[in-house]
Every structure is written in C-alpha cells, then in structure tokens.
Amino acid sequence: MTDGPVLRLSGTLADSRVLLPGTTNVRDLAGYPAGPDQVIGPHRLFRGEVLADADASEFQGLWDEKHRTDFEDLGLRTVIDLRAEHEVRRTPSAWRRATGADVVTLPIEEGGEGTDTNYIRKLLSGEMPRFDEEHMTQFYCEMLDRRASTFASAIAVLADTRRLPALVHCSAGKDRTGLLVALVLELLGTPRALVVEDYALTGVFRPNRIAAYAALFTGVGVDPDAARVLFETPAVSMDRALAHLDDSYGGAADYLVNVGSVLPRALEDLRSSLLVPAPAH
C-alpha cells in the first residue's frame, strides 16, 4: 500500500474527455496503456454520468434533443447503468434515446452521491460528524466485498465485442463507475498509478461538487465541509481499495473469477475486445 499517489494528469488521460453538450464527465479511454505494447483502442470503452432530461435533475448530465447528433456520433451499442433501482425510477436515463444503444441495468445499491445514501442521512442527522478519506476507503472496500457478482456481470458484457462501443455510468460517474473501470484497467494491465489517476480525474472535471448540495446541509445546521470528501475523488481511497483487492483476493482477476464467478475466458475476451497495438514512436 502506498501513501497515496499524486494526481499528475498525464497527457493520455487529460485528453480522454469527450465534450458532449450537457455533460461534464464523459470520457473515451482510448490510448490508455495496457501491458506491453498495447493500448485501449479508440471508441471501445467510454465512462460517464447519467444523462437525464433537462427538467429531471439539476445535478446530472442534461439531455437536449437538439444535440442528438453529438451523442449518436459516439456509435454506442451498449450502455451499462450501475444505479440502484430507486435511482433509475427517480431519474430515468436518456442515454438510450440519445444514442440508440441497448441499456443493461446492473444495479449497485451503494452510491456515494445523492440524498438516498446512508452516509448522507447519517451526516444530516448528526450520527456521523464527518466523512473523510478513511470512510471513502471503507465504502469502496465494502462495495467490492459485496458486489463481486455485479462487477463480474459488467465485465462479461464488456468482453463481448458485439456489445462495443460501450459506456458505463452510475449517477456522477464517480464511485460505482470508478470501481468498475478500475477493475477493467487492472485486468488489462494498466499501471496502477494511471488506474488511480483515471478515477481522480472525475474530481478535475466535476470540481467542488459539494456546492450543489450545500443547502441540504446548511438547512439542518451541518457544515457542508463535513461531507466534502463524499463528493470528491481522493486518490488515496482508490489506491487503498485496490490494495485491499490485492491483499484479500489476489488481485482483480482472481477476485472476479473466484468471487464473481466470471469465466476466465471472459477476461481473455476482454483484452481481445478492447486492446490494439500501441502506436509506434
């Protein structure tokens, strides 16, 4: 376990952002290094946030029909929605309408952002005085422990080349999406520092998210700073969550095969589906 990597915003990752109207956190992971002489190919794997109708949510990506061409140009065949069932009911996703992609719903009840999480309720009630990086680490470790089969199902979808290009999202594209994408990158052989950097990049593209929720806390006399980390992407928390994966399960591959019951062949298919030879220098 390290003391926590420093976000260095490498050129490859900094250029991953896809500028889609109404969104802030959509990225194409093309060019991410993955083992010797290979990289993730272009227009294969995207990550992002939920896309909602403009009048449905002030906190999510916002869909407007006039921008349909921008979204269709992604060429998506599959969208994986990791949100809980109550989130889907409350804020229906517009990704299918925007792109024509098939939506695969793989619910993970735990979510970092939003008023329906236990952490939010505990902070608002005073039961939890502060949410810090250690709490975030615990949150991620417990999610990995509980949701192996769901993460494995998502890996199986992404391993099917007929499903690509694919986009993965939850609510903000931060916690659940962050863990799934970290698992994919670990399986592909992306250096750990870049895996963590990719996660932390959400905090660059969606800075100071606590400001959108501040009134929720001040309204009950709670300092919003007590909840700030819940809406951020502390690199040390992802680093330690992946260390937990190593220490407890032997790494991402053993975790997904032995605990998530994904077929070993799917891991080979994932590499075949996503990777291309690295460009010659």
pLDDT digits (tens, 9 = 90+) for 69-111: 999 999 999 999 999 988 898 889 999 999 999 999 999 988 6
Mean pLDDT, residues 259-279: 96
d(CA 71, CA 79): 12
Question: Where residue 188 sits, what CATH number does that domain have?
Answer: 3.90.190.10
Which alpha helices (H) appear in the chain, and where do they start and end? 11-14, 68-72, 85-90, 95-99, 118-125, 133-146, 148-158, 176-188, 192-205, 210-218, 235-249, 252-254, 264-274
* Least confident span in 4-13, 101-110, 131-140, 253-262: 4-13
Does 54 map to a domain? yes
pLDDT of residue 5: 41
**What distance in Å separates the CA atoms of residue 114 and residue 171, rounded to the nearest whole number?**
8
Element (H, E) at 46: strand 45-48
Residue 280 confidence (pLDDT): 79
Rounded-to-integer distance, Cα 162 and Cα 78, Å: 9
Question: Above pLDDT 90, what percent of the chain?
Answer: 76
| pLDDT tens digits along 142-163 | 999 999 999 999 999 999 999 9
Domain with 221, as residue range(s), is 14-274
Whether 7 is in a domain gets the answer no
Question: Does residue 3 lie within any of the structural domains?
Answer: no
Q: State the average pLDDT over residues 203-226.
A: 92
- Cβ atoms of 51 and 22 within 8 Å: the answer is yes
In a domain, 43, yes or no: yes
How many independent structural domains does the chain possess? 1
Q: Is the pTM of this model over 0.85?
A: yes
